[in-house]
Each structure stands twice: as structure tokens, then as C-alpha cells.
Amino acid sequence: MNELPRLGLGADELLSTTRAVRKRLDLDRPVDPALIDECIELAAQAPTGSNAQGWHFVVVTDDAKRRRLGELYRAGFELFYGDRAAAEAGLPADDPDYVATTRRVIDSAEHLARHMGEVPVMLIPCIEGRTDEGGVMIQASVWGSLLPAVWSFMLAARERTLGTCWTTLHLLHEREAAELLGLPDTVMQGALIPVAHTVGTDFKPGPRRDLSRVVHHDTW
Ligand SMILES: Cc1cc2nc3c(=O)[nH]c(=O)nc-3n(C[C@H](O)[C@H](O)[C@H](O)COP(=O)(O)O)c2cc1C
């Protein structure tokens, strides 16, 4: 049996180099299902409100289902970013570095949208209950009981030479994806996470806007 790959990253390096991987997903290399199992086991160590553990992890490897999810994702991308000028209209003119980074992100996202259906593994994390009618306390508690686990999955994946990218655009076609996967009406999908080995394993911290804009002490 092959030994499962590990990078041996320190905690700070893992936290600062787990990137949204799109162009460097290796679409041709298979992913050992045991790696996905390990990542889910670690993900399930994340906190949940009232210890509810209402999460579900739908792992999609079936060819036809991946292809269809890829189509739904692409359609969502076209709806959201099809009018590129409109998508970029709200970017802050006084922060050219951020504008340039965001334009690169959209280019990269377009690449992923073209290839989503070819990614070897997709994770669709779901949560029991719906927040369609809920106030902020309910929304924060329900989503807060799923999303930390998803990020843990992505960190665990990075440590195992797998790349991931948080995506949500397929949710513009939430019902179609739910029907494809046989999800009950009582759950929500939180994301679509493509998972593949990365081309190379060296990743750097991402550019971020100046934190002095957003860090507040005692008052806003
Ligand atoms: C809630 C959320 C939704 C996102 N949706 C998408 C998406 O639909 N498609 C995509 O390519 N990237 C998506 N991203 C990834 C972001 O574009 C990415 O995290 C951001 O540009 C920063 O890049 P980095 O994670 O490599 O630092 C999403 C990220 C988050 C947190």
C-alpha cells in the first residue's frame, strides 16, 4: 500500500499558504479516497453550535455528476461574471493593487469555470436546516456550524498535497445540484470545493489589503 503524502508544514505556514487553487489543480492525477477520508475526519473536529454536528460531506467522484456540476458551476459563473465590466464596476479606484489582484482572481476563476467538471473530486459540504427565513442569530449559528469544518478540510488537504478552492457560484443553481445529488429539501449546500493534487506544492501568502482599515479596538 502506498504511504499517503504529507508536507509537514508548520501551523503558521499552513494557515498562510492555503490558497484558492485554480490553475494549478492537476486534473489528470487521481486522488486516493483515503486522503479525502483523512481530511473529513479532521474537518469534523471543528466546532458546531450546541455540538449539533449537523454537517454532511458529499464527496462526488462520479464522472457524469462531476460533469453536470461543472456545467451548473459554469452557468453560475456566466451569470455572475459574464458582464465583466459590471463585475469590476464597484472595485475601489483608490486601491490599484487590490484592483489588479481582483482582476487576476477573476481571470483565474474563469479558468476554473472552464475546467470545473474535470476536477477529480468535488466536496459539497451541507448543513441540516435552512436559514431562508432566519434572523442573523440563526444564520450565524447554522453557517457557523459548517464553514469552520470546510476550512479545516481545506487546510488538511493542503498538508496532504491537495489543492482546493472555496466556490459558491453553483449555488445560483442550488435546486438542480440538490436534485442531481439526491439531497433532501431540509439541507443547504454551503460550497462546492474542487479537490485535486497541486502542480508543485510551493504556495506563498496571498496579497491582502491594509489591515489598519479593518482592525478596530474598543470602538469602530
Ligand atoms: C465565501 C467564498 C466564496 C467564494 N466563491 C468563489 C467562487 O465561486 N469561485 C472562485 O473561483 N473562487 C471563489 N472564492 C475564492 C476567493 O476568490 C479567494 O479566496 C480570494 O480571491 C482570495 O484568494 P486566496 O484564498 O488564494 O488568498 C470564494 C471564497 C469564499 C470565502
Q: Is residue 217 a part of any domain in this protein?
A: no
| CA nearest neighbour of 177 among 194, 164, 189 | 189
What the block records as the C-alpha cell of 9 is: 508544514
Domain assignment of residue 82, yes or no: yes
Please indicate, yes or no, if residue 90 is contained in any of the structural domains.
yes
Give the pLDDT confidence score for residue 193 in this predicted structure.
99
Task: Going residue by residue through the chain, which has 220 residues, state the pLDDT in tens, using 9 for 90 and above.
Answer: 579 999 999 999 999 999 999 999 999 999 999 999 999 999 999 999 999 999 999 999 999 999 999 999 999 999 999 999 999 999 999 999 999 999 999 999 999 999 999 999 999 999 999 999 999 999 999 999 999 999 999 999 999 999 999 999 999 999 999 999 999 999 999 999 999 999 999 999 999 999 999 999 999 9
In a domain, 211, yes or no: no
What total of structural domains would you count in the chain? Answer: 1
Q: Is 121 inside a domain boundary?
A: yes
178: Cα separation from own chain's centroid: 17
Give the pTM: 0.97
Whether 173 maps to a domain, the answer reads yes
Please state the separation of Cα 216 from the chain's center in Å.
28
With respect to residue 68, please indicate whether it lies within any of the assigned structural domains: yes
CATH of the domain at 32: 3.40.109.10
Distance between CA atoms of 196 and 120, rounded to whole angstroms?
6
> Could you tell me the distance, in angstroms and rounded to a whole number, from the CA of residue 37 to the centre of ligand 1?
24
Residue 59: per-residue pLDDT:
99
The range of the structural domain enclosing residue 170 comes to: 13-199
Is 18's C-beta closer than 6 angstroms to any atom of ligand 1? no
Q: Would you state the pLDDT for residue 58?
A: 99
- The answer to whether the CB of 20 is under 6 A from ligand 1 is yes
Q: What is the pLDDT of residue 42?
A: 98
Q: Does the beta carbon of 157 sit less than 6 angstroms from any atom of ligand 1?
A: no
Question: What pLDDT does 1 receive?
Answer: 55
Nearest CA to ligand 1 atom 7: 167
Whether 192 is in the pocket of ligand 1, judged by its Cβ within 6 Å, is no
Q: Is 167 in the pocket of ligand 1 (CB under 6 A)?
A: yes
Is 149 within a domain? yes
The DSSP annotation for 4-18 comes to PP-----HHHHHHH-
- Name the region of 106 (left: φ>0; alpha: ψ -120 to 50; beta: rest): alpha
